[in-house]
Amino acid sequence: MEITHRLENEILIITIKGRLDGATSPKADEFIKERLKGNSNRLLFDFEGLEYLSSAGLRAILSAAKEIKSREGKVMLAGLNQYVYEIFEISGFTSLIPIKETVEEALKDLAS
């Protein structure tokens, strides 16, 4: 698992690549919490390189989404492969967090 971040027009973009599971999610969770210490209230998860996700990984995403929501901000996911989307869908989260096909699309939406 590889996790990085960047800021674009005050939108915090967190990119996660590889496998987000019970072994790698503590590191991701810590990374995300650290980045959320600022006052960003618009967050985009770039999942274009995310190959695999389990419920342990979902926990880290959900906790970040809740934090942004409590700041009355906006959170979005983009670039999910079919399998990662399936996990969000089974968990009932596709109706709770907006999902865009591409990062560009999500950035446009978050900027408006």
In angstroms, the CA 97 to CA 74 distance is 9
Confirm or reject binding of residue 7 to another protein (CB under 8 A): no
For residues 17-35, one letter each, b for 16 or more C-beta atoms within 10 angstroms of the residue's C-beta and e for the rest, the string is eebbeeebbeebbebbeeb
Q: Is 66 in the site for another protein (CB under 8 A)?
A: yes
Identified binder of another protein from the candidate list 17, 59, 71, 74, rule CB under 8 A: 59
Place of tokens 């989260």: 93
Least CB distance from residue 14 to another protein, whole Å? 17
Under rule CB under 8 A, residue 17 binds another protein: no
- Greatest Cα-to-Cα distance within the chain, rounded to the nearest angstrom: 37
If one asks whether residue 56 binds another protein (CB under 8 A), the answer comes out as yes
Is residue 21 within the footprint of another protein (CB under 8 A)? yes
Beta bridge partners, 17, equal 2
Q: Which residues bind another protein (CB under 8 A)?
A: 19, 21-23, 52-56, 58-59, 62, 65-66, 69-70, 82-83, 87, 90-93, 96-97
